[in-house]
Structure 1
Amino acid sequence: MAEFTATDGVRIHYRAEGAGRPLLLLHGLMAHGGFWAAQQPLSEDFRLIAPDLRGHGESRAEPRSVTVDRLVRDTEELAEALDLQGAIVVGWSLGAAIAWPLLAGRVSARFAGSVVVDMTPKVLNEGGWTLGLAPELVEARAAAFRDDFAAFAHAAGTAVLAPPIADGEAELAAWAGAEFARNDNRAMSTLWASLAEQDYRPLLARISQPTLILRGAHSYLYGPDTARYLESALPSARIVEFGRSGHAPNLEEPELFNKRIIDFAAGLAVGHEVGTLA
């Protein structure tokens, strides 16, 4: 695994493989870059870059530093260190919350497109917003991170998959839960509180890159109305639904997921220009 040093001295580890258009794979909360293993066949067509975001996997950091803003800055610095050009950023859940500021910020010119996997632009439901999570659910998760992290993490390994868990998926659910549980609960608590404060709705209109919105039909977090909101708020976006998936179609239907990425990339302009949806 490769690494680079962020400006505050934290070492960010990442996996890199293949050649071609860069595909920056940003994982979800409690996961790490290894959750993209089923996307390895894409290395035949793309340069795959899958970091362990700060506080996850091998990218250990002081828990107080594990905030959304700092993860965004780390990823900007990684994009610059690797001199990404014409890249596609794929953001799964938390990863999308990191991708949106990248696409609208100072490194936006490095990206030609984005893929959002089952995420809302605002996690906390308040002020009439209902396409995220109820306040009591947000607080319950915060309490679980603080008080019963191991049990919550192991249960989340099952929850990210579409119910009922098939015999062949039990091992995947157990693996995901065990990997989630490896994290420092203090870092996850800090990051969850930071994520719950974010509101990306005003940012979406500034994202000019085409976006593919991928959602599992059986997601336990966000419904189809959330995906439709993103489709209408982003200047160039369309939805693809995975009928046998929950929160993680990249894990549950990897062959179809990979094909959707290939098809989406084929509709983007080559080189450094921002593309359009085919």
Structure 2
Amino acid sequence: MQVFTTSDGARIAYRDSGRGTPVVLLHGLMAHAGFFDGQAALAEDFRIIAIDLRGHGESVAGDGDMPGVERMAADVAELAGALDLEGAIGVGWSLGATILWHVLAGAAGQRFAGAVVVDMTARVRNDDEWDLGLSPEACEARSIAMRDDFESFALTAGQAIFAQPVAPEHRKLADWASLQFARNDAEAIAETWASLVRQDMRALLDRIQHPTLIVHGGRSELYGEDTASHLVAALPHARAVRFENSGHAPHLEEPELFNATLKDFADRLSLARANRNSNS
């Protein structure tokens, strides 16, 4: 993997392969760039940039900040600038989607032409006026589990991202995911989780003008179709696609369909851009 040093001295690992339209892959909590190995075939048509977010995989904070959402978004924005990306498509899965929204709403957003959001909500923690995330009790239970027995929490979470019960053809992959989750530093993950739970992206979404594809798992135990519908309504240029046989990780569970869906989305972006240029 290649390494990029951020403005605060953190070392961010990433994979950069293929040529064409850049596709920036941002993983979920406790995952890493390897969770997008199923998208490696896309390097035949795209430039694939898969990042280990701060505090995950081979990325290390060094003397920099602990891994909060805003700092992670700054890392991605800085890397996009260093790579001089233009017309990129951002793909954010779960935590990665929240990070992507921050990037798109900032100055680095001009480097992106579109976005793919994978099974995420605008706000993780529910309250009296919001019920498209997780209950306060569930959020607190996760925080306690991370603190008291991180390994058990991580092993269970790795299984839970798949449609339940885990299909036999996904058993090996689910076991791998669990072991990868458990390799993380408990303190770093707890800090990231606390930062994620504090996020409320609702006011930010209507500022994001990028065409967006909302991918949601039909068997996700975290977020349902109503969550995807909210994002379609909240984002100015969004549509949704449902992966019937997936849980929280459609790109892992149905990689060929996911890749074909992303290619179709990219083709639509290119066609729309060509139409705008011909009419200008």
CA distance in 1, matches of 2:189, 2:260: 32
Alignment partner, residue 265 of structure 1: 266
Shift in Å, 1:64: 5.7
- Give the deviation of 1:8 after TM superposition: 0.8
The residue type equivalent to 1:60 in the other structure is V
Match of 2:169 in 1: 168
Query: In the alignment, which residue of structure 2 is the partner of 1:234?
Result: 235
* Equivalent residues of 2:65, 2:71 under 8 A apart: no
Q: Is the 1:86–1:271 Cα contact (8 Å) retained in structure 2?
A: no
One-letter amino acid of the counterpart of residue 167, structure 1: P
Deviation per CA, 1:219-247: give whole Å up to 9, x if none: 01001110000000000110100011000
1:72 is paired with a residue of what secondary structure? helix
Alpha-carbon distance in 1 for matches of 2:77, 2:273: 17
Q: Distance in 1 between matches of 2:271 and 2:106?
A: 21
Name the amino acid aligned to 2:118.
Answer: V
The residue identity in structure 2 corresponding to 1:14 is: Y
% of aligned pairs identical? 57
Give the letter aligned to residue 59 of structure 2.
Answer: S
Q: Does residue 122 in structure 1 map to residue 140 in structure 2?
A: no
Question: Which structure 2 residues correspond to residues 35-74 of structure 1 after superposition, within 5 A?
Answer: 35-61=35-61, 65-74=66-75
TM-score by length of 1: 0.96
For the 8 Å contact 2:70–2:102, the answer to whether it is kept is no
1:27-80 deviation digits (Å, cap 9, x = unpaired): 000000010000001001100000100000000226961111110110000100
C-alpha deviations, 1:118-171, integer Å up to 9, x for none?
Answer: 000101101410001100000001011111110011111110000121222111
Q: Tell me, which stretches of 5 or more residues in structure 1 are unaligned? A: none
Report the secondary structure of 1:161's partner residue.
Answer: coil
CA contact (8 A) 1:64 1:190 kept: no
CA separation in 2, counterparts of 1:168 and 1:114? Answer: 29
Query: Is 2:210 the partner of 1:209?
Result: yes
Alpha-carbon distance in structure 2 between the residues aligned to 1:273 and 1:2: 33
Give unmatched runs, 5+ long, in structure 2. none
- What SS does structure 2 have at the residue aligned with 1:38? helix
Structure 1 stretch 19-28 or stretch 127-136: which is displaced more? Answer: 127-136
Which residue is equivalent to 1:76? 77
Shift of 1:270: 7.2
SS of 1:178 mapped into structure 2: helix
**How far, CA to CA, are the matches of 1:197 and 1:135 in structure 2?**
11
Question: Which whole-Å CA distance do the structure 2 matches of 1:149 and 1:61 have between them?
Answer: 20
Query: CA–CA distance in 1 between the matches of 2:275 and 2:38?
Result: 27
Cα separation, 1, equivalents of 2:256 and 2:117: 17
**Is the contact made by 1:53 and 1:59 (CA closer than 8 Å) also made in structure 2?**
yes
Please list, as runs of the form range in 1=range in 2, the aligned pairs for 1:96-245 lying within 5 A after superposition. 96-245=97-246
Between the aligned partners of 2:273 and 2:54, the Cα distance in structure 1 is 28
Instruction: Tell me the amino acid that sits aligned with residue 34 of structure 2.
Output: G
Distance in 2, Cα, partners of 1:97 & 1:164: 27
For normalisation by structure 2, the TM-score amounts to 0.95
Aligned partner letter, 1:52: D
